């Protein structure tokens, strides 16, 4: 047996049963600790390791100490509080990792208040923390290595899903009380619009097949919903030449529709830029009350105040009167009977007997006709 083999055998017999011999390269690679600390303050000793199995930190005679298993751990932290009663002065901490011993010099300074007189540096338990792969404190608990504040992973909160609302109502009329930029909302005006809509719906229900009426967007109570919006321009700008195009554009900007099949019916306290009581264009019915002194009021009675004008313009919006109708006059009106809702002729209108397409031969219920029949419009609804 050669000398190397004998030496190895002797070394092996000197190791206590159940323990491994210290690795040949076991070492304390670094020690970081404050040199000055106030009495009562906390401090941490950070020890870098390479192959060390166990470390023990002693804080002085009669003072606290801690031992930690460090096998496989690259770093261990000893954290403790300096006794508030510790006497200011110089102290020596002893760090022993396997066979290596290091002495750490520490100066304790006076804290606010009464000067300490005790020579016991640490009275409370020393907490030990090892990096992953290491051991734990003297009680056997395992602690994760602390993560520096700069490097903590960001936890992105899971967004709470917003419950999907009901889909928008298709083929419906949106009632709008539109305010030019220089006007304020008039109390009771929106209520007058609701009453006007109800009166017109009631009349249409007496004229249509199946008692249908226009389909309006409605609130939770079932009443027509009136949206109050502020427009971008002044009254004068909408009443001037070109005001119709400006009004239509500004209304779409102020109250965009959620679906392309909805239509606007808008009331304003203005005059029309053209000689008209109301108009319909680009999917918008515009009812400027000052043009003809027609105001929506509550209660509303057919066919006075704003009721007739609303029904008249809605019939146009639905598609009446097509030019191919037998009594069409070319301006989307008829000339055959003064009782007709859309009559435009030399005779006085018969207000007491207004009818939706007298004779059913021009624009509503025109069975067999090749002309447009507004009875097929998707904007009708069953009466609520």
Residue-wise pLDDT for 76-106, tens only, equals 999 999 998 999 999 999 999 998 999 999 9
The backbone torsions φ and ψ at residue 149, rounded to the nearest 5 degrees and listed phi first, read -55, -30
**pTM score over 0.95:** no
Give all strands (DSSP E) within 217-339, no chain letters: 226-230, 263-268, 279-281, 284-288
Domains and CATH numbers, the chain: 25-145 (2.60.40.1930), 173-382 (3.40.390)
Please give the pLDDT value at position 135: 41
The backbone torsions φ and ψ at residue 139, rounded to the nearest 5 degrees and listed phi first, read -90, -5
| pLDDT tens-place string over residues 112-159 | 888 889 989 998 999 998 876 444 443 333 344 444 455 556 667 777
* Alpha-carbon span 192 to 174, nearest angstrom: 15
| pLDDT tens-place string over residues 30-65 | 999 999 999 999 999 999 998 889 999 999 888 899
Buried b (16+ CB within 10 A) or exposed e, 127-137: bbbbbeebbbb
The answer to which of 7-21, 64-78, 188-202 has the lowest mean pLDDT is: 7-21
Does the pLDDT at position 11 exceed 90? no
Please give the pLDDT value at position 132: 64
Please give the pLDDT value at position 5: 35
Does the pLDDT at position 274 exceed 70? yes
| pLDDT tens-place string over residues 223-262 | 999 999 999 999 999 999 999 999 999 999 999 999 999 9
Average of per-residue pLDDT across 319-328 = 95
Average of per-residue pLDDT across 181-207 = 96
Residue 10 pLDDT class (50, 70, 90 cuts): very low
Element (H, E) at 245: helix 243-254
DSSP tally for the chain: helices H, then strands E: 5, 16
Measured distance between the N- and C-terminal CA atoms of the chain, rounded to whole angstroms: 110
CA distances from 146 to 32, 130, 149 (A): 15, 9, 9
């Amino acid at each position: 047996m050669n000398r190397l083999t004998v030496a190895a055998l002797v070394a092996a017999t000197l190791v206590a049963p159940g323990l491994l011999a210290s690795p040949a390269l076991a070492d304390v690679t670094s020690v970081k600790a404050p040199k000055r600390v106030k009495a009562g303050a906390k401090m941490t000793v950070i020890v870098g390791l390479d192959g060390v199995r166990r470390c023990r930190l002693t804080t002085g005679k009669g003072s606290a100490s801690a031992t930690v298993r460090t096998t496989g751990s690259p770093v261990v932290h000893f954290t403790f509080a300096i006794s508030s009663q510790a006497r200011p002065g110089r102290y020596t901490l002893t760090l022993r990792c396997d066979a290596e011993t290091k002495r750490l010099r520490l100066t304790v300074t006076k804290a606010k208040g009464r000067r300490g007189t005790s020579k016991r540096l640490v009275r409370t338990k020393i907490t030990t923390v090892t990096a992953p792969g290491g051991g734990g404190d003297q009680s056997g608990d395992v602690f994760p290595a602390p993560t520096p504040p700069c490097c903590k992973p960001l936890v992105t909160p899971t967004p709470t899903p917003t419950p999907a609302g009901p889909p928008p109502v298709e083929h419906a009329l949106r009632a709008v009380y539109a305010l030019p930029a220089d006007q304020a909302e008039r109390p009771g005006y929106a209520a007058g619009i609701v009453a006007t809509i109800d009166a017109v719906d009631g009349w249409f229900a007496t004229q249509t097949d199946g008692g249908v009426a226009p389909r309006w967007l409605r609130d939770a109570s079932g009443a027509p919903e009136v949206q109050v919006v502020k427009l971008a321009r002044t009254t004068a700008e909408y009443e001037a030449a070109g005001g119709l195009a400006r009004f239509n554009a500004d209304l779409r900007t102020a109250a965009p529709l959620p679906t392309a099949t909805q239509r606007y019916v808008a009331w304003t306290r203005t005059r029309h830029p053209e000689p008209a009581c109301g108009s319909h264009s680009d999917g918008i019915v515009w009812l400027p009350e000052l043009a003809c002194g027609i105001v929506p009021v509550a209660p509303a009675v057919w066919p006075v105040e704003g009721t007739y004008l609303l029904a008249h313009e809605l019939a146009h919006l639905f598609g009446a009167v097509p030019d191919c109708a037998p009594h069409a006059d070319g301006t989307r009106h008829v000339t055959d009977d003064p009782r007709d809702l859309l009559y435009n002729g030399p005779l006085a209108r018969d207000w007491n007997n207004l009818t939706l397409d007298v004779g059913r031969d021009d624009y509503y219920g025109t069975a067999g006709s090749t002309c447009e029949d507004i009875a097929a419009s998707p904007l009708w609804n069953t009466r609520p």
